[in-house]
Amino acid sequence: MARHPESPDEIYAREEEPDEGWRRPPPVEGASLRAVVGEWSRKNLFSSIPNTILTVLCAWLLWETLLPLTQWGLLDAVWQTDDSAVCRAAEHGACWAFIANKYRFILFGLFPYDEQWRPLVAIALFVAALAVSCVPSFWRPWLVVLWLGVMVACGVLMWGGVFGLRFVENGRWGGLPLTLILAVVGIVCSFPLAIALALGRRSNLPAVRAICVGFIEFVRGVPLISVLFMASVMFPLFLPEGFTIDKLLRAQVGIILFTAAYLAEAVRGGLQAVPRGQSEAADALGLSYWRKTGLVILPQALKTSIPAIVNQFISMFKDTSLVIIIGLFDLLSTAKAALSDPPWRPFYVEAYLFAALIYWIFCFFMSRYSQFIERRFETGHRRS
């Protein structure tokens, strides 16, 4: 029998089809809800004895965990109070009042309280720019201009000092804006470096290739934390006497170098997926290396590597939380710092859940987006 090459999706679609489909009676018109539910649960929950045992076990576990969790998080929770004693009195309930009291600090850190609309607008700008960049038909040169504009606007908003805005040095930045800045600036700046590294890794020039492979494999072999340590303690030694850069910039450079190595591998995967004929055709047309790369190879390669790039962005977004270890004040640090207020110390679960929720929302939507792009571009470029 001829076997057809199948994509995972097709296999999945077949997997969901019940094997005993032919034995099932045809659906009755206007079957009662009970019959439908009964049929469904027989098929999906109680199809065999081991399956029934699994279902019961699972349901029992869910019952045992979800019930106390709802009790704790919703029914017994304290929602609004300025007095932590009220929260401590409600022993078996969550203290969401802690979040209500501290959310400005967790979100914006030590940014001057009256000026916190500025980081808020900056976050909104970043998120809007990210949303716009997600639409494939907007991938035009003006998007680069838009991003530059957004960066400048955010810089103005965060630093101030012009247009009558008070100057805020970046030591006082913190919370979500800092996390977003580290992640977005990290990805934007590491992207050109990553492309250069990926091209260099596939170059015909042995010296260039060796340097690129060396850098990529070295960075990928060490933990981010050691790169951040290096950035925080060794960068000052690297620079000439009397020349200093601040902690935020140092961490940012570390993150950029680290991300570039991983991103280069994502781009390399895309480069490898471009059929050899494309490069040969460009050679036959007499295009120079740079025109061939810029006009023929890279557009195709980047398109295929978008899901990998987005995944890299997600992991970098999560990894920015590591800057807490070198003393920067990102979202995770502010959540932890909010707990150091003695009356509110016991409510660490609420603090971590709040920070986790913010991280989760960003990462979840990005991962959904990566899946969407993967499906959208799965047109004809896969070899069957």
Partner 1 sequence: MGAGATGSGKAGPPRRAAGPAAGAWWNDRRVRAVFYQILVIGGVLLLVWFLVANTLDNLNQRNIATGFGFLHREAGFDISERLIDYTPADTYLRALVVGLLNTMLVSVLGVILATILGTIVGIARLSRNWLVAKVASFYVEIVRNIPVLLQLFFWYSMITEALPSPRQALNPLPGVFFSNRGMRFPVPEADPAWTYVAVAFLVGVGATWVFARWARAYQNRTGRIPPTLSVALGLILGLPLITYLAAGAPTAMNMPELRGFNFSGGTTVTPEFTALLLGLVVYTASYIAEIVRGGILAVSHGQTEAGLALGLHRGAVLRLIVLPQALRVIIPPLTSQYLNLTKNSSLAVAIGFPDLVSAANTTINQTGQAVEGIAIIMAIYLTVSLSISAVMNWYNRRIALQGAR
How many residues sit in the footprint of partner 1 (CB under 8 A)? 63
We find the least distance from the C-beta atom of residue 284 to partner 1, in angstroms, to be 11
We find the least distance from the C-beta atom of residue 183 to partner 1, in angstroms, to be 11
Any contact of residue 355 with partner 1 (CB under 8 A)? yes
> Which residue from 35, 86, 213, 325 is in contact with partner 1, where contact means CB under 8 A?
325
Q: CA–CA separation, 322 vs 333, rounded Å?
A: 9
Under a CB-based contact definition with an 8 Å cutoff, are residues 211 and 200 in contact? yes
> Which residue from 26, 30, 141, 206 is in contact with partner 1, where contact means CB under 8 A?
206
Q: Strand pairing partners for 330?
A: 175
We find the least distance from the C-beta atom of residue 139 to partner 1, in angstroms, to be 25
Q: CA–CA separation, 317 vs 182, rounded Å?
A: 8
Any contact of residue 224 with partner 1 (CB under 8 A)? yes
Q: Strand pairing partners for 78?
A: 95
Any contact of residue 159 with partner 1 (CB under 8 A)? no
- Size (the chain), residues: 384
Q: In 3D, which of 153, 157, 137, 155 has the Cα closest to residue 145?
A: 153
> Which residue from 73, 160, 269, 346 is in contact with partner 1, where contact means CB under 8 A?
346
We find the least distance from the C-beta atom of residue 189 to partner 1, in angstroms, to be 18
Any contact of residue 225 with partner 1 (CB under 8 A)? yes
- C-beta closer to partner 1: residue 59 or 89: 59
Q: In 3D, which of 231, 228, 235 has the Cα closest to residue 321?
A: 228
Any contact of residue 360 with partner 1 (CB under 8 A)? yes
We find the least distance from the C-beta atom of residue 11 to partner 1, in angstroms, to be 5
The interface mask with partner 1, positions 253-282, x = CB under 8 A, is: ------------------------------
Q: Which two tokens stand for residue 18?
A: 């019940």
- C-beta closer to partner 1: residue 157 or 228: 228
- C-beta closer to partner 1: residue 125 or 208: 208
- C-beta closer to partner 1: residue 116 or 279: 279
Under a CB-based contact definition with an 8 Å cutoff, are residues 260 and 218 in contact? no
Any contact of residue 2 with partner 1 (CB under 8 A)? no
Any contact of residue 30 with partner 1 (CB under 8 A)? no
We find the least distance from the C-beta atom of residue 251 to partner 1, in angstroms, to be 15
We find the least distance from the C-beta atom of residue 160 to partner 1, in angstroms, to be 30
Under a CB-based contact definition with an 8 Å cutoff, are residues 321 and 179 in contact? yes
We find the least distance from the C-beta atom of residue 263 to partner 1, in angstroms, to be 15
Any contact of residue 127 with partner 1 (CB under 8 A)? no
We find the least distance from the C-beta atom of residue 373 to partner 1, in angstroms, to be 17
Which residues within the stretch 41-70 sit at the binding site for partner 1 (CB under 8 A)? 44-45, 47, 51, 54-55, 58-59, 61-62
Q: In 3D, which of 313, 312, 305, 308 has the Cα closest to residue 270?
A: 305
**Sequence letter at residue 85:** A
- Using the rule CB under 8 A, give the single segment among 184-192, 298-306, 341-349, 370-378 that binds partner 1: 341-349
Any contact of residue 207 with partner 1 (CB under 8 A)? yes
Interface residues toward partner 1, by CB under 8 A? 3, 6, 8, 11-12, 14-15, 44-45, 47, 51, 54-55, 58-59, 61-62, 204-208, 211, 218, 220-226, 229-230, 233-234, 236-241, 283, 286, 314, 318-319, 321-322, 324-325, 332, 336, 346, 348-349, 352, 355-356, 359-360, 363-364, 367
